[in-house]
Amino acid sequence: AYSRRFHCLMMVDYIFYQTNSHFYYKYQKNHTLIFTKESIIRNCSCLADIRDCDYNLANLMCNCRTVLPSTMEKTNYNSDLTIWFTDTSVLEMLLNFTRVCDLKLSFCGTAPLPTEYLTIWGLRKLRVKNKVKGQFPEQSVTISSSSNHEKEDFLAMHNKDRQMLVYISFLDTSLFNGYSLLKSYSVENVSSITEHFPSLLYSDVFSTSDNKSYVVTFIY
Ligand SMILES: *[C@@H]1O[C@H](CO)[C@@H](O)[C@H](O)[C@H]1NC(C)=O
Ligand SMILES: *[C@@H]1O[C@H](CO)[C@@H](O)[C@H](O)[C@H]1NC(C)=O
Ligand SMILES: *[C@@H]1O[C@H](CO)[C@@H](O)[C@H](O)[C@H]1NC(C)=O
Ligand SMILES: *[C@@H]1O[C@H](CO)[C@@H](O)[C@H](O)[C@H]1NC(C)=O
Ligand SMILES: *[C@@H]1O[C@H](CO)[C@@H](O)[C@H](O)[C@H]1NC(C)=O
């Protein structure tokens, strides 16, 4: 299941406007925002950027619906996804072993988070925000590969049969405690995760198949 083709939608949707004699483009795209408050999970489609952790505003401005944890399915997100969370159990439900290209995580809780690892496929851009007014407001990580520039990636999107680049990231959830700056470390050209990282606890879920080149990133 993990080897299915997956491409990030890095394209944007534009709307063409005309005012008097001027034409202009406007970025027009709904964003997916998922947040949890108490035990309720809301999945929203928002046109505007909503201030982090402002649940009331999100309910007001976005098109939201409640998701029952029992019926929740892991989904792939090939554009952007924002999650506001207060504990790691929800992140685990929403994100562990899913595919997300462009992820923004905002920690809205106050209790320190334990060190746990989230495995995210296909992650190319991560933004992290803590509510805690510490020294570290918004931080971000962009993951790319030296063998595959963004532009080529985009152009080769439909005929990348030669060698399949697979991005996989491991994210330490204690990074939201803001004790230090966000760091990331990528290892490229990994042909087999089991072979190169034998001590990863659950490395057995990674297929050792043919012609895949992994970009393995640790975010902490
Ligand atoms: C949230 O909604 C989007 C569509 O707006 C959908 O693709 C996605 O699967 C939903 N996620 C969850 C966890 O329900
Ligand atoms: C996009 O967001 C607006 C509100 O922000 C909402 O009214 C509209 O239904 C959303 N569109 C989709 C396709 O969800
Ligand atoms: C993600 O799944 C792995 C394997 O089941 C597990 O070891 C890990 O603790 C999970 N991550 C979180 C944040 O729960
Ligand atoms: C990975 O392989 C590509 C092409 O095979 C090469 O251009 C690139 O330098 C390699 N990267 C590293 C970090 O070894
Ligand atoms: C792996 O790549 C080689 C050459 O690049 C190709 O001949 C072969 O068919 C590929 N194998 C698979 C299973 O895609």
In short, whether 172's Cβ falls inside 6 Å of ligand 3 is no
Determine the pLDDT at residue 3: 36
Judged by its nearest atom, the ligand closest to the C-alpha of residue 113 is 3
Instruction: Judge whether 10 and 28 are in contact, CB under 8 Å.
Output: no
Q: How confident is the model at residue 1 (pLDDT cuts 50, 70, 90)?
A: very low
pLDDT digits (tens, 9 = 90+) for 3-50: 344 556 544 444 444 555 555 555 567 899 999 987 889 999 999 889
Backbone angles phi, psi at 56, to 5 degrees: -65, -45
In short, whether 63's Cβ falls inside 6 Å of ligand 2 is yes
Residue in 145, 146, 217 to alter for ligand 4 test, most ligand atoms within 8 A of Cβ: 146
Q: How far apart are CA 209 and CA 217, in angstroms?
A: 19
Nearest CA to ligand 5 atom 5: 162
Determine the pLDDT at residue 38: 78
pTM of the model: 0.81
pLDDT over threshold 70, residue 154 = no
Interval 91-104 mean pLDDT: 93
In short, whether 187's Cβ falls inside 6 Å of ligand 4 is no
Angle at 45 between CA 40 and CA 47, to 5 degrees: 135
Q: How confident is the model at residue 2 (pLDDT cuts 50, 70, 90)?
A: very low
pLDDT over threshold 70, residue 66 = yes
How many C-beta atoms surround the C-beta of residue 158 within 10 A? Answer: 8
pLDDT over threshold 90, residue 61 = yes
- Going through the chain in order, the beta strands assigned E by DSSP cover 14-19, 22-27, 31-37, 40-46, 63-67, 77-85, 98-107, 117-121, 125-130, 138-142, 164-172, 184-190, 212-219
Indicate which atom in ligand 2 lies nearest the CA of residue 46. Answer: 5
Determine the pLDDT at residue 22: 58
For strands 98-107 and 77-85, give the pairing: parallel
Cα–Cα nearest to 214, from 171, 170, 165:
165
Q: How far apart are CA 97 and CA 116, in angstroms?
A: 13
Ligand 1 site: residues with CB under 6 angstroms?
32, 34, 43, 45, 67, 72, 75, 94
What residue segments make up the domains of the chain, in order of their start? 30-219
Q: How far apart are CA 153 and CA 163, in angstroms?
A: 12
Nearest CA to ligand 1 atom 2: 43
Nearest CA to ligand 2 atom 4: 62
